[in-house]
Amino acid sequence: MDIRAYIESGVIESWVLGMASAEEAAELERLRVLHPEINQAIDAFEASLERTALAGATQPPVYVKQELFTQLAGEFKQEEARTRVVTMPAGRFAKYIAAAAIILLVISASMNLYFYNRFQSANTAYQALLVEKTSLIATNHDIQVKALDMYQSMQMMSDPSVAKIPMVTVRANENNLATVFWDTRTKDVYLMPNKMPPAPGDKQYQLWAIVDGKPVDAGMMDACTGLCKMKNIPRASAFAITLEKRGGSATPTMDQMYVMGKVG
C-alpha cells in the first residue's frame, strides 16, 4: 500500500475533524499501528489546527474578563469564610469549568469561522473556474464554426463553376461595392457585401435578380459574416441591391438602388 498517497488522500484530516466514516476510521486505526508515519501526519495536522485556531481566535471584550475575575474573587471570599477545608468547593470548580467553557467556545467559534471562510473562498474560486471553462468552450466552438464557414466560402468562391458577378455603385458620390457568387450547377446565390453602408434600424438591403427584364426577389441581406446565403435563382441577366423597409418589398424602390451588376 502506498502510505504517502494514503496520507495525502484527506482521510487523516476527515478523521481528526470527526467527519470520517466508520470504515475509514477503522482502517486508519489499523494502519496507524503498522505505520508510524501515519501517526506523525495525525500529530502534524492536529498541531496545524491548534496554530490556526490560536492565530485566528477572537479575544473576548476586556470587561468580560474583569467581571469574571470579580465574581470568582467574591466566591472565593465566601467559601473561605464558610470553611477552611483545603478541598476545592463544588461552586469554585464549577466557575473554573464555566471559564474554560467560555474560552473553548471562543476558540471553537474562531475555528468554525476560519473553515467556513476557507470553504466559501474555495467554492467561489471553483465557480469562477467553471464559468471560465464554459466561456472558453463556447468561444472555441464559435471560432471553429467561423473557421469552417470561411473555409467553405473560400472553396466555393474558387470553384470554376461558380460565376462571380461584381456589383458597383449606381449612386453619385458613393463608392458602394458588393459581389454575387452564383453557382451555375445548383443555382444557389451567395452575396458578399464588400463595401456597403450600414442599413438604418428600420431598413434592410434586398437583393434582386433581373429575369427577362423584371426584378425578382432574391432575398434579404441580414446580419451575416462573410457570405450571405440568398435565394435560389435559376436564371438571371443581372443583380441589384436596394434599401427597403425591414422584411422586404414586393417591388424594388428604384431611387434606393445602391449597386448593380450584369451577369457574364
Are 37 and 102 in a shared domain?
no
Q: What is the pLDDT of residue 86?
A: 46
Are 22 and 109 in a shared domain?
no
Are 246 and 167 in a shared domain?
yes
- Is a pLDDT exceeding 80 seen at residue 109? no
Q: Which of 98-112, 125-139, 186-200 has the lowest mean pLDDT?
A: 98-112
- Is a pLDDT exceeding 50 seen at residue 85? no
Q: Which residue has the higher pLDDT, 162 or 73?
A: 162
Are 173 and 237 in a shared domain?
yes
3-state SS track over the chain: CCHHHHHCCCHHHHHHCCCCCHHHHHHHHHHHHHCHHHHHHHHHHHHHHHHHHHHHCCCCCHHHHHHHHHHHHHHHHHHHHHCCCCCCCHHHHHHHHHHHHHHHHHHHHHHHHHHHHHHHHHHHHHHHHHHHHHHHHHHHHHHHHHHHHHHHHHHHHCCCCEEEEEEEECCCCCCCEEEEEEECCCCCEEEEEEECCCCCCCEEEEEEEEECCEEEEEEEECCCCCCEECCCCCCCCEEEEEEEECCCCCCCCHHHEEEEEECC
Report yes or no on 198 lying in a domain. yes
- Is a pLDDT exceeding 80 seen at residue 108? no
Are 45 and 94 in a shared domain?
no
- Is a pLDDT exceeding 70 seen at residue 218? yes
Spatial separation of the C-alpha atoms in residues 259 and 200, rounded to whole Å: 17
- Is a pLDDT exceeding 90 seen at residue 176? yes
Report yes or no on 157 lying in a domain. no
Confidence of residue 169 (pLDDT cuts 50, 70, 90): very high
Domain boundary among 116, 135, 154: 135
pLDDT tens, position by position, 35-60 = 999 999 898 888 877 776 566 555 55
Q: What is the pLDDT of residue 82?
A: 61
Domain boundary among 17, 32, 56: 56
User: In Å, how far are 5, 33, 47, 53, 222 from 38, measured between CA atoms?
Assistant: 11, 9, 14, 23, 69
Q: Which residue has the higher pLDDT, 2 or 260?
A: 260
Are 191 and 258 in a shared domain?
yes
Confidence of residue 115 (pLDDT cuts 50, 70, 90): confident
CB neighbours of residue 25 within 10 Å: 14
Are 200 and 228 in a shared domain?
yes
Are 101 and 183 in a shared domain?
no
Report yes or no on 143 lying in a domain. no
Q: What is the pLDDT of residue 20?
A: 80
Q: Where in the sequence is the domain holding 97, given as residue range(s)?
A: 62-135
User: Structurally, how many domains does the chain consist of?
Assistant: 3
User: In Å, how far are 33, 204, 254 from 257, measured between CA atoms?
Assistant: 91, 12, 5
Report yes or no on 153 lying in a domain. no
Are 124 and 67 in a shared domain?
yes
Are 122 and 196 in a shared domain?
no
Q: Which residue has the higher pLDDT, 165 or 125?
A: 165
- Is a pLDDT exceeding 60 seen at residue 66? yes
CB under 8 Å to 187, separation ≥6 — which residues?
A: 232, 233, 234, 235
Are 237 and 170 in a shared domain?
yes
Report yes or no on 145 lying in a domain. no
pLDDT tens, position by position, 14-36 = 888 777 888 889 998 999 998 99
Q: What is the pLDDT of residue 165?
A: 94
Report yes or no on 151 lying in a domain. no
Q: What is the pLDDT of residue 227?
A: 83
- The closest of 204, 263, 203, 206 to 239, measured between CA atoms, is 263
- Is a pLDDT exceeding 80 seen at residue 10? yes
Are 42 and 70 in a shared domain?
no
Domain boundary among 100, 135, 170: 135
